[in-house]
């Protein structure tokens, strides 16, 4: 059953930062329900009432909620800890001598797992993000890219639809890191062969939970390198001895969950589902463009704004504003909890 509808204004009451927080692209801000769920989980653990099997429902429901957010089905979703492990599974599945196309500016959790396979002839060609879609052509076995660039919030030029179409036209596999997208940008995972997403940013979750989405026809490509009891067809009868008895669906790629992190992930995903990604996208983008307007920057299509101004970070810190610096520019990111007042505060600090 889908969660009830929650207005954006009601959702904002679940957040209580002590500062102007425009740093979701680094660490998502937990809603009150996530903090309360974590406190309850820790108290259950502290008091000796925790049961290992009791955490299974948290993982199952989180898998379902994430599947809803990215327009797929739970049987296509694997759970893990971080993006690089999913990247490694895809990289390990490529044949010797495979050719990978990637964006030269991309996050290294997308790049490094492919680059380490150079010893078996896997070649990674990097091009500027602006030319990525045009570079897809004959001889490319897989294109790997972040849906939204971590450093400055740029989306794939032409859109992910154009990337998927070009890849299909040339028989090229696709791997998308959706970490900086899912939670604010409408995203359909089934358009791609492989998708990964860490939950500690725009999904407002504790660090230590992540998701992968695999097209069913690609599942046989991936060797379950991290197979353990939780990847078993029935985890609780898969804890001792052979034979190998893995789940038939994407769950065969599961990594045993960090229980307390999942206790905080489920309520965060439920809040996002209650508000709706369409409403969040409209809200986040409106705030980002309001800041661009005040700083006389061109309007954009991202909830992340990069500001390359001397002394910008120092001015934000002096004003008590939490942001970050990436690739030589201040990176500001707007999400559910932010308001127009936050835009005004950032603009004042930056002289807009």
pLDDT at 5: 84
Distance CA 143, CA 163 (A): 9
Closest CA to 302 of 146, 143, 172: 146
Residue 341 · residue 163 · CB < 8 Å: no
Distance CA 178, CA 182 (A): 6
Query: Which of 38-69 are b and which e, b meaning 16 or more Cβ less than 10 Å from the residue's Cβ?
Result: beebeeeeeeeeeeeeebbebbebbbbbbbbb
pLDDT at 351: 87
What DSSP state is assigned to residue 155? B
The CATH class of 52-273 is alpha beta
Output the six-digit token pair for 94. 């490529």
The CATH T-level fold of domain 8-31+276-349 is: 3.90.1150
Sheet arrangement for strand 329-333: 304-307, 329-333, 324-326
pLDDT at 3: 53
Residue 217 · residue 248 · CB < 8 Å: no
Put residue 121 in one of left, alpha, beta given phi > 0 → left and psi -120 to 50 → alpha. Answer: left
Distance CA 245, CA 238 (A): 7
Q: Where are the domains of the chain?
A: 8-31+276-349, 52-273
Mean pLDDT by 10 residues, the chain (352 residues): 77 94 98 98 97 96 98 98 96 98 97 98 98 97 98 95 97 98 98 98 98 98 96 95 97 97 98 97 98 97 94 94 94 98 97 78
DSSP reduced 3-state for 143: strand
């Amino acid at each position: 059953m889908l969660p009830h509808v929650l207005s954006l204004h009601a959702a904002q009451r679940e957040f209580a930062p002590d500062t102007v927080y425009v740093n979701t692209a680094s660490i998502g801000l937990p809603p009150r329900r996530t903090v309360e769920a974590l406190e309850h989980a820790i108290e259950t653990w502290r008091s000796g009432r925790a049961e290992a099997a009791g955490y299974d429902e948290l993982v199952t429901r989180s898998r379902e909620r994430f599947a809803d957010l990215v327009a797929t089905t739970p049987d296509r979703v694997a759970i893990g800890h971080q993006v690089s492990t999913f990247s490694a599974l895809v990289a390990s599945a490529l044949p010797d001598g495979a050719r990978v196309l990637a964006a030269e500016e991309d996050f290294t959790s997308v790049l490094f797992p492919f680059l380490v396979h150079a010893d078996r002839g896997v070649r990674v060609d990097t091009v500027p993000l602006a030319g990525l879609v045009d570079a897809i052509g004959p001889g490319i076995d897989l294109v790997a890219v972040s849906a939204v660039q971590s450093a400055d919030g740029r989306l794939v030029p032409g859109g992910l639809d154009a990337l998927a179409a070009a890849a299909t036209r040339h028989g090229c596999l696709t791997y998308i890191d959706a970490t900086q997208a899912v939670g604010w940008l409408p995203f359909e995972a089934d358009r791609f062969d492989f998708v990964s997403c860490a939950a500690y940013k725009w999904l407002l979750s504790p660090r230590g939970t992540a998701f992968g989405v695999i097209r069913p026809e690609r599942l046989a490509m991936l060797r379950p390198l991290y197979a353990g009891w939780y990847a078993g067809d029935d985890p609780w009868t898969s804890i001792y001895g052979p034979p190998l008895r893995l789940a038939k669906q994407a769950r065969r790629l599961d990594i045993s969950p960090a229980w307390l992190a999942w206790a905080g992930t489920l309520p965060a995903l439920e809040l996002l589902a209650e508000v709706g990604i369409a409403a969040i996208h409209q809200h986040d983008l409106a705030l980002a463009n309001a800041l661009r307007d005040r700083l006389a920057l061109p309007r954009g299509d991202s909830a992340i704004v990069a500001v390359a101004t001397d002394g910008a970070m120092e001015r934000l810190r002096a004003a008590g504003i939490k942001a970050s610096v990436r690739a030589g520019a201040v990176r500001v990111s707007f999400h559910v909890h932010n308001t127009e007042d936050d835009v005004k505060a950032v603009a004042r600090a930056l002289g807009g």
